[in-house]
């Protein structure tokens, strides 16, 4: 390489560079023979900053393609070492293992299209395409809808951007009357969903425009949301196209405002892929993007009888969905409290065993130990806590920092916060946009004011729009958080190095289990913490927001959701009609021994059932495991039914406790450690059991009246590790 440079440079002035301590003999010879200049550089700084740099250089220089590696490898000929790099480039073939971005997920589905927001031509194309008039949001129903019109406003400015018709109760009831399952072959349904994905990508401009103005999404967040929606459509199409099972029937889908396109689309796509009829209720603040998406789905070929949109209040549309016995399933994303209310209403009105798939909130924590790379940790902390104005269910709420590094790290977080720009997300330079509405703004502002004595750092906010200042509060631990604050508020606690086990126990004790972040460079600690923490998604040495469909299935446990995980292999199967009980119901002659059941339930220990690696980019490990839930209580009725139920649960790898007699329904309100109840008997007793389970405090426990599936008996937990976080990619050392 040096000889080639000398030959090509001729009389042109230039200089070589080398790292201090490397290549000294070579450059001494070149200096002597050719009178060249050579700049020597070396890392300068504190010892704590040096380790990651040295590890990165070690990994780079130790890579198989490195000159330093090849020159001492006797298996590489001198001719190969000295080969003209331009000749090598001209004759090189792409590595067979190198996968093009669109082929990241193999033959089953095409990856969603990305947008380079640093490219001026791409930005100009987006700016032109998104500058369109915002349409009104009207119900999309088979029958003529009725309701009242109301304004939709831009949360960044408070200005009216369009109107929406909020349907009345009669329209909601007629939509259920008109709903029909999608009676087409699975292959045809999959083709329609793929066509819808293409239409989503073709209409990126209006989608970005609506997301920015209606939901306060930055352009980067809008791009990510569109890609996630497209991924859902293609992934669920691939997951369900070879399944011939029957649909459940009519499925209600209630989606949130913080991901009004991605989660909305994912719920609908999974239910449609199983052939169900879907009644979709968008969040009240974001009906426009929902109506636009439903229009594209209809354009792609989804029948109107199989997919209807009902914008409206929860007290109207939600009540219709949870009170009509013809509804055969409900999927919901929102608050834990609302999910519990929905579960109680469903238990009272729908058929016993009607499934509720709920993804709810969380008190998400991150632990940063003394070995973490500070710059990397700060980047991920700020992204996790403040991106999207903290309005993600996965957002970081409570940060634990090892006290040895806390002063320095907290100072760095303050500096990084100061660099955040608040403003209208329509502007590309905006980092933090508004919260969704005045109610959210007031609730969060009141919380910050009530904790003014704990404020470590707070930013200023624009004078108009629904903005909340990114704020950092000092707390003693996660127990200080009375509830989830759904906005840009980060709570910070410190811990001693010998208190890590206590910290994990405190986090688990809160009962939520959505996301958790860990920054450490100790591999054994990663394993220990990931085994101990009870959350659905664990992120190591990266931010804890964002989950790629099919690579990082997303969803929580405990107070954070029922499962199965969205974007995972067990989601679509839940929307098909389940297998009927394997035996007929019998009858009990006596009462169950409640004390025995209590002891058996409390004595069960969880175990790992299965583990699989998920696809993803180089430099990232994605692993999905299934861990047994607390036991499934098998109530028969009758000894034969209980035996079949226990066998079904254990065949899936789960834990079961069988009854030995009739159990009063009120006993279900007090028995501990339940994950589900199996009942194959009459509807009246089933409803009593369902209502008793819905009356329990804490996580939602469901009644199963058919054969169970793996998601009934196991928690799905996903681990995502940034494998480059040690300072380089260790995979480069592979022989």
Q: Rounded to whole angstroms, how far apart are CA atoms 562 and 340?
A: 11
The answer to whether 582 and 646 have CB atoms below 8 angstroms apart is no
- DSSP codes, 73-89: -TTS-HHHHT--HHHHH
Among candidate residues 196, 198, 193, 206, the one with its CA nearest the CA of residue 236 = 193
Encode burial over 267-277: b for 16+ CB neighbours within 10 A, e otherwise: bbbbbbbbbbb
Residues taking part in catalysis: 359, 393
For residue 13, the surrounding DSSP H or E stretch is none
* Opening angle at CA 578, ends 574 and 581, nearest 5: 145
Among candidate residues 307, 247, 314, 319, the one with its CA nearest the CA of residue 279 = 307
CA 697 from centre of chain: 26
Q: Return the structure tokens found at 458.
A: 């707070």
Sole residue written with tokens 């999905």: 624
Q: Rounded to whole angstroms, how far apart are CA atoms 673 and 604?
A: 9
The answer to whether 598 and 615 have CB atoms below 8 angstroms apart is no
Q: Rounded to whole angstroms, how far apart are CA atoms 54 and 50?
A: 6
- DSSP strand pairing (620-628 vs 608-613): antiparallel
Helix (H, G, I), strand (E, B) or coil at 634: strand
Q: Return the structure tokens found at 476.
A: 């003693």
Q: Return the structure tokens found at 562.
A: 């029922």
Among candidate residues 9, 28, 227, the one with its CA nearest the CA of residue 115 = 227
Q: Which H, E and C letters describe 495-543, residue by residue?
A: ECHHHHHHHHHHHHHCCCCCEEEEECCCHHHHHHHHHHCCCCEEEECCC
- DSSP codes, 244-295: -PPB-SEEEEE--SSSTTHHHHHHHHHHHHTT-EEEEE--TT-HHHHHHHHH
Among candidate residues 536, 551, 546, 537, the one with its CA nearest the CA of residue 235 = 551
Sheet containing 327-333: give its strands across. Answer: 307-309, 277-281, 250-254, 327-333, 356-359
Q: Is 294 exposed, middle or buried (0-12, 13-18, 19+ CB in 10 A)?
A: buried
């Amino acid at each position: 390489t040096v000889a080639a440079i000398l030959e090509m440079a001729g009389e042109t002035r230039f200089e070589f560079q080398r790292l201090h301590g490397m290549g000294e003999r070579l450059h001494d010879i070149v200096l002597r023979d050719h009178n060249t200049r050579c700049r020597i550089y070396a890392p300068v700084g504190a010892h704590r900053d040096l380790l990651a740099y040295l590890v990165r250089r070690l990994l780079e220089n130790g890579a198989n393609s490195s000159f330093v590696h090849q020159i001492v490898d006797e298996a590489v000929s001198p001719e190969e070492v000295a080969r003209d790099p331009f000749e090598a480039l001209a004759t090189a073939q792409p590595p067979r293992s190198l996968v093009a971005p669109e082929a990241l997920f193999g033959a089953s589905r095409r990856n969603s299209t990305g947008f380079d927001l640093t490219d001026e031509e791409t930005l100009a194309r987006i700016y032109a395409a998104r500058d369109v008039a915002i349409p009104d949001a009207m119900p999309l129903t088979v029958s003529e809808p009725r309701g009242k019109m109301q304004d939709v406003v831009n949360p960044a400015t408070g200005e009216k951007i369009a109107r929406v018709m909020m349907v009345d109760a009669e329209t909601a009831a007629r939509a259920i009357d008109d709903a029909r399952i999608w009676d087409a072959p699975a292959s045809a349904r999959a083709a329609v969903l793929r066509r819808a994905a293409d239409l989503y990508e073709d209409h990126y401009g209006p989608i970005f425009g609506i997301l920015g103005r209606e939901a306060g999404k930055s352009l980067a967040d809008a791009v990510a949301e569109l890609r996630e929606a497209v991924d859902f459509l293609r992934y669920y199409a691939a997951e369900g196209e070879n399944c011939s099972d029957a649909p459940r029937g009519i499925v209600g889908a209630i989606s949130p405002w913080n991901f009004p396109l991605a989660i909305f689309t994912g719920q609908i796509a999974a239910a449609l892929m199983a052939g169900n009829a879907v009644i979709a209720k968008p969040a009240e603040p974001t009906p426009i993007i929902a109506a636009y998406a439903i229009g594209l789905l209809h354009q792609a070929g989804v029948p109107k009888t199989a997919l209807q949109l009902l914008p409206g209040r929860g007290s109207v549309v939600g009540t219709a969905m949870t009170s009509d016995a013809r509804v055969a399933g409900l999927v919901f994303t929102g608050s834990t409290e609302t999910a519990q209310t929905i579960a109680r209403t469903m238990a009272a009105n729908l058929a016993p065993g009607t499934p509720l798939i709920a993804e709810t909130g969380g008190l998400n924590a991150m632990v940063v130990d003394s070995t973490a790379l500070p710059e990397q940790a700060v980047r991920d902390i700020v992204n996790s806590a403040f991106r999207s104005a903290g309005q993600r269910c996965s957002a970081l709420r409570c940060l634990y920092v090892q006290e040895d590094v806390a002063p320095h790290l907290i100072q760095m977080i303050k500096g990084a916060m100061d660099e955040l720009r608040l403003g209208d997300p329509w502007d590309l330079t905006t980092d933090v946009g508004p919260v969704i509405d005045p109610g959210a703004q007031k609730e969060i502002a009141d919380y910050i004011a009530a904790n003014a004595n704990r404020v470590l750092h707070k930013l200023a906010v624009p004078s108009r729009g629904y903005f909340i200042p990114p704020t950092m509060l000092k707390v003693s631990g996660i127990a200080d958080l009375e509830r989830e604050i759904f906005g840009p508020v980060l709570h910070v606690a410190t811990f001693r190095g010998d208190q890590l086990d206590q910290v994990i126990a405190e986090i688990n004790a809160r009962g939520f289990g959505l996301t958790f972040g860990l920054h450490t460079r100790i591999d054994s600690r990663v394993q220990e913490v990931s085994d101990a923490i009870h959350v659905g998604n664990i992120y190591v040495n990266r931010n804890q927001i964002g989950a790629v469909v099919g690579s990082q299935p997303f969803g929580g446990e405990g107070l954070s959701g029922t499962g199965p995980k969205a974007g995972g292999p067990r989601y679509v199967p839940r929307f098909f009609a389940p297998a009927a009980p394997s035996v007929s119901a019998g009858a009990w002659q006596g009462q169950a021994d409640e004390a025995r059941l209590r002891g058996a339930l409390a004595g069960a220990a969880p175990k790992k059932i299965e583990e699989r690696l998920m696809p993803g980019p180089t430099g990232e490990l994605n692993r999905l495991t299934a861990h047994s839930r607390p036991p499934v209580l098998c109530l028969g009725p009758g000894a034969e039914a209980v035996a079949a139920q226990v066998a079904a649960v254990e065949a899936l790898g789960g834990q079961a406790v069988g009854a030995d007699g009739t159990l009063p329904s009120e006993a279900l309100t007090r028995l501990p450690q339940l994950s589900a109840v199996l009942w194959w008997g009459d509807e009246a007793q089933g409803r009593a059991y369902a209502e008793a389970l819905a009356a329990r405090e804490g996580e939602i426990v469901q009644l199963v009246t058919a054969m169970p599936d793996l998601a009934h008996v196991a928690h799905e937990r996903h681990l995502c590790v940034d494998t480059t976080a040690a300072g380089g990619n260790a995979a480069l050392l592979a022989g």
